[in-house]
């Protein structure tokens, strides 16, 4: 092992001497371990880390291990006793748990804690665990033989291995029940509720019982034996027939078990979900309202607070989950209310605001992340050059869409970088189709609302908000890029009006990122007074012809497997087994658990590996001669369900035409993705991407060549140039 590490370090040093951007590997002293010393000291967590954490956990009281969150709090309180690296990891784990409790279980540090706790449980050092499960296995000709199995552990996988198995008629069964105080109290009650778990097994455990599962009671109470027919199963115990959960609970003795006493108490009135704002407020936007949890089938009583007369009444709607109600409103809500429920004095304040306060801090890219470039930045031999053209825009700020609510929600959560899954979840709440979320996300990226951060060491991607910026496209015109919340836009509108600057909000495509345009003098002074960034953006963009415009991936695909292939019929990626390899141009997605995907193009031209999905799809259509985009009289519209123009090019077109880029609903009810482009732009792009943009007879749709677009432009009174700029 030591020789392998030294060989790797030497290989990296040779790469560095050749001028390649590799980081030097510094190997620690292997000590006396001449075979595996390097690996032992590079491994995280090390043996020293594990021993230190085990020593801390060994000193914790038994009751700490009955709850996973209590255990984490106890370890965090003793973090000073841990090595420096592990102390930092525990601190980060505790911080992420406080922000999102569900993130606990996928964390590597928590897996280490769970592993040590499981070892301590199996060795007998600790006797309590947060997860437990008592299983009954019915057997015999008449189903009257019952075996009991008890399992407990720190992880769900631990429950697959019972710590003991005994027949229910075992004379000293109660002695085995004492191994867990919760099981002992439940068993001593004389009536135990079991729910179906598959086959002849039924279980009870740390999970709350489910309403949709059939339930039976194992009981020895005379009251229950006389109330319903039962089957004797041994040891004085009887089994009832399967019934609903409500019937089973009605048969139980409410004084028999502490657990049932706890269940008889109504759960506290509480709010769940929602997006938190300062001073105890929640975001009052459709799709992002909190849900109200209370026992019973009646909605909560609502009492208004304050002197606001315009404050509207709240309307509640029951969800599929019992006792859970959602707020129903097609518009944002602002106000303060008090919620209560019948026959109880409990009250709960509800404060809603339709927007977030202006943000002053913005997240920065982490050192472990990088950006992604989709095309060559430096073009030495351009085949075409795009230029800004005089653009006219119309104010459509009166048009609203649910995407506006999603933008405000993203603005509220913009203090730190967010995982891609969290951003996708926020967008999906308001989109009419789930698949649209990737187009909506791309539209926000092209508007520079969000920026993508690619992890350098694994597959993860995060998205972070970019601060507001005024980007000047000429001396007296500019567009606003970055994340502009509602409060920020109000401030911009007020300052613009004071200075005689015209502000227009373009929202004609309701599911695309909105665009804000400014016209007037003194745009840089406006940015200075409003404390916004100001930039004069280039008005020209030289383009190299494909495939020279792409950035080949330096990885060789070692360890990657084919997980998807591009389907010409379905016009998006399908699993590899669903699309057999065929002759001609092929596009494959190569995946690996610990690395970013690679896209491989083969069959036509030289084989090419690309990291950018956008570049790979566009290049594949160019090679295969099948159109990805077609001119539609207003710009470029996409044929397929997937595919976009390179990000840098899309941003340039958005700036130059002062128009939205993003998903658009067509007259026939289908969705497309549209970019603004003039006839001159189309001619230039055709020289770059060729048949991928020229139209095709494929898919039963007539082609529209660049000449058709020239004719459309001439009929509108424009004079397009047949040659692209820069030729």
Contact between 287 and 323 (Cβ < 8 Å): no
Q: What is the mean pLDDT of residues 312-318?
A: 82
Tens digits of residue pLDDT in 578-634: 888 778 889 999 988 667 889 999 988 889 999 999 999 999 999 999 999 999 888
Q: Give the pLDDT mean for 489-507.
A: 94
Cβ atoms < 10 Å from Cβ of 625? 15
Contact 15, 25 (CB under 8 A): no
3-state secondary structure of 631: strand
583: exposed, middle or buried (Cβ count in 10 Å: 0-12, 13-18, 19+)? exposed
Mean pLDDT value across the chain: 82
Rounded-to-integer distance, Cα 35 and Cα 722, Å: 70
**pLDDT tens-place string over residues 61-97:** 877 787 777 888 888 888 888 888 788 888 888 887 7
Q: What is the pLDDT of residue 113?
A: 84
pTM of the full predicted structure? 0.62
Could you tell me where the beta strands, DSSP code E, fall in 259-394? 270-272, 282-283, 291-293, 301-304, 316-318, 324-327, 335-340, 347-353, 369-370, 384-387
CA distances from 664 to 38, 615, 637, 661 (A): 56, 22, 9, 9
pLDDT for the residue numbered 515: 94
Report percent pLDDT > 70 for the chain.
87
Higher per-residue confidence, 488 vs 62: 488
| The pLDDT value given to residue 448 | 96
Closest residue by Cα to residue 540 from 696, 725, 299, 377: 725
> Which of 15-29, 121-135, 472-486, 663-677 has the largest mean confidence?
472-486
> Looking at residue 501, what is its pLDDT?
95
* pLDDT value of position 253: 60
Q: For residue range 193-221, what is the model confidence (pLDDT) as tens digits?
A: 888 876 678 888 888 888 878 888 888 88
Q: Is it the case that residue 260 has pLDDT exceeding 50?
A: no
pLDDT-derived band at 727 (thresholds 50, 70, 90) equals very low
Q: What is the pLDDT of residue 139?
A: 73
CATH class held by domain 270-353: mainly beta
Radius of gyration of the chain (CA): 32
pLDDT at 703 over 50: no
pLDDT tens readout for residues 266-278: 566 778 888 988 8
Least confident of 175-179, 276-280, 351-355, 484-488: 175-179
pLDDT of residue 310: 53
Map out the domains of the chain as residue ranges.
44-123, 131-264, 270-353
Phi and psi angles of residue 168, each rounded to the nearest 5 degrees, phi first? -65, -20
């Amino acid at each position: 092992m030591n020789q392998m590490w030294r060989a790797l370090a030497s290989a990296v040093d040779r790469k560095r001497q050749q001028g390649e951007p590799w980081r030097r590997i510094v190997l620690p002293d292997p000590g006396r371990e001449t075979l595996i010393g390097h690996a032992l000291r590079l491994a995280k967590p090390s043996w020293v880390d594990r021993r230190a954490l085990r020593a801390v956990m060994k000193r914790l009281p038994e009751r700490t291990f009955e709850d996973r969150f209590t255990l984490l709090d106890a370890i965090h309180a003793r973090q000073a006793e841990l090595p420096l690296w592990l102390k930092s990891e525990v601190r980060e784990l505790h911080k992420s748990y406080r922000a999102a409790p569900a993130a606990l279980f996928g964390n590597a540090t928590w897996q280490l804690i769970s592993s040590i706790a499981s070892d301590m449980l199996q060795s007998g050092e600790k006797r309590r665990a947060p997860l437990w499960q008592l299983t009954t296995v019915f057997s015999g000709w008449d189903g009257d033989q019952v075996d009991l199995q008890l399992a407990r552990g720190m992880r769900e996988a631990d429950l697959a291995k019972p710590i003991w198995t005994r027949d229910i008629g075992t004379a000293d069964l109660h002695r085995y029940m004492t191994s867990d105080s919760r099981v002992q109290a439940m068993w001593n009650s004389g009536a135990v509720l079991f729910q179906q778990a598959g086959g002849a097994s039924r279980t009870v455990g740390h999970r709350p019982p489910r309403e949709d599962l059939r339930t039976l009671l194992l009981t020895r109470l005379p009251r229950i034996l006389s109330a319903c027919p039962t089957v004797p199963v041994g040891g004085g115990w009887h089994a009832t027939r399967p019934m609903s959960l409500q019937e089973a609970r009605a048969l139980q003795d409410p004084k028999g078990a502490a657990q049932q006493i706890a269940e008889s108490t109504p759960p506290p009135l509480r709010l769940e979900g929602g997006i938190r704002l300062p001073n105890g407020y929640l975001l009052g936007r459709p799709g992002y309202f909190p849900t109200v949890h209370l026992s019973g089938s009646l909605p909560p009583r609502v009492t208004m607070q304050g002197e606001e007369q315009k404050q509207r009444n709240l309307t509640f709607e029951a969800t599929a989950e019992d006792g859970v109600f959602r707020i129903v409103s097609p518009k944002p809500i602002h106000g303060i209310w008090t919620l209560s429920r019948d026959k109880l004095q409990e009250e709960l304040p509800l404060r809603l605001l339709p927007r977030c306060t202006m943000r002053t801090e913005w997240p920065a890219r982490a050192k472990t992340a990088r950006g992604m470039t989709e095309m060559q930045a430096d073009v030495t031999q351009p085949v075409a050059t795009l230029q800004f053209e005089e653009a006219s825009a119309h104010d459509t700020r009166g048009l609203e869409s649910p995407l506006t609510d999603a933008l405000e929600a993203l603005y509220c959560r913009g203090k730190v970088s967010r995982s891609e899954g969290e951003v996708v979840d926020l967008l999906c709440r308001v989109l009419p189709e789930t698949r649209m979320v990737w187009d909506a996300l791309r539209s926000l990226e092209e508007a520079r609302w969000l920026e993508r951060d690619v992890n350098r060491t694994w597959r993860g991607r995060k998205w972070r908000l970019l601060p507001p910026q005024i980007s000047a496209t000429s001396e007296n015109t500019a567009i606003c890029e970055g994340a502009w919340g509602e409060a920020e836009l109000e401030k911009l509108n007020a300052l613009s009006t004071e200075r005689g600057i015209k502000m227009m909000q373009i929202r004609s495509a309701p599911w695309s990122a909105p665009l804000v345009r400014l016209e007037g003098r003194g745009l840089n002074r406006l940015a200075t007074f409003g404390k916004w960034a100001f930039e004069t953006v280039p008005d020209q963009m030289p383009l190299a012809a494909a495939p020279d415009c792409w950035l080949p991936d330096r990885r060789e695909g070692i360890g990657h497997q084919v997980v998807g292939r591009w389907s010409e019929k379905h016009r998006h990626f399908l699993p590899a087994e669903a699309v057999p390899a065929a002759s001609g141009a092929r596009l494959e997605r190569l995946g690996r658990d610990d690395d970013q995907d690679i896209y491989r193009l083969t069959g036509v031209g030289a084989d090419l590996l690309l990291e950018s999905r956008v570049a790979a799809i566009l290049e594949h259509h160019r090679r295969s001669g099948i159109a990805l985009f077609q001119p539609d009289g207003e710009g470029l519209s996409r044929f397929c369900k997937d595919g976009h123009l390179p990000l840098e090019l899309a941003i340039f077109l958005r700036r130059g035409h002062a128009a939205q880029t993003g998903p658009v609903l067509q007259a026939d009810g289908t969705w497309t993705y549209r970019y603004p482009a003039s006839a001159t732009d189309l001619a230039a792009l055709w020289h770059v991407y060729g048949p991928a943009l020229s139209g095709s007879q494929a898919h039963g749709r007539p082609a529209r060549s660049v000449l058709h677009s020239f004719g459309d432009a001439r009929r509108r009174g424009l004079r397009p140039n047949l040659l692209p700029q820069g030729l």
